[in-house]
Amino acid sequence: MIENEIRQMLSQPRDSNIENNLIKKLRKLDENYAYDLIKIVFWTNVSLGLMYSKRVLRNSNFFLEILNHGMHYADASIINLYLDCCISNLGFKKVALIIRDSKNTYPGGYKKALYWLPRHLPKDDIKSAKILSSFKDS
């Protein structure tokens, strides 16, 4: 039922009322099932899937998976949307450390994420700034 609504929504021009109603329905579902449904959106429209993830999901494991996917597959502009989505749930420091540790695993994603990461630095957060400056040393 809701899967059909999602597929129908994806085949039409965007409508914020339809999207908001679907988000409300997804929030009422078991989070694992909601994530499976969001993947349908994600594979059709990455930016919309990231927006749904940010608004529906709460389990940090899902965001770790999303960040891992972004580090592996995202292009230079879309990776910024991945960072925005994941930082909103995991926090800047955790995402920054994950990115730093992925330098050898995902060198392309590392470089792309490193370009955008300073734009997400929280103001007046000395610890986060130190983490970001540690990228220069690694």
**Which tens digit of pLDDT belongs to each residue from 17-59?**
999 999 999 999 999 999 999 999 999 999 999 999 999 999 9
Q: What is the pLDDT of residue 138?
A: 57
pTM for the full model? 0.92
Cβ atoms of 88 and 117 within 8 Å: the answer is no
- Take residue 19 and report the two structure tokens written for it: 């999207």
Which of 11, 91, 81 lies closest to 52, judged by CA?
81
> Would you state the structure tokens that stand for residue 65, as one six-digit string?
């998976």
How does residue 137 score in pLDDT terms, banded at 50, 70 and 90? low
* Secondary structure element (H or E) that encloses residue 28, with its range: helix 16-28
Compare 36 and 129 and report the one with higher pLDDT: 36
Q: Phi and psi for 103 in degrees, rounded to 5?
A: -55, -45
- Long-range own/partner contacts, residues 104-110 (CB < 8 A, 24 or more apart): 105/71, 106/71, 106/72, 109/70, 109/71, 109/72, 109/74, 109/79, 110/71
* Distance between CA atoms of residues 50 and 126, nearest Å: 28
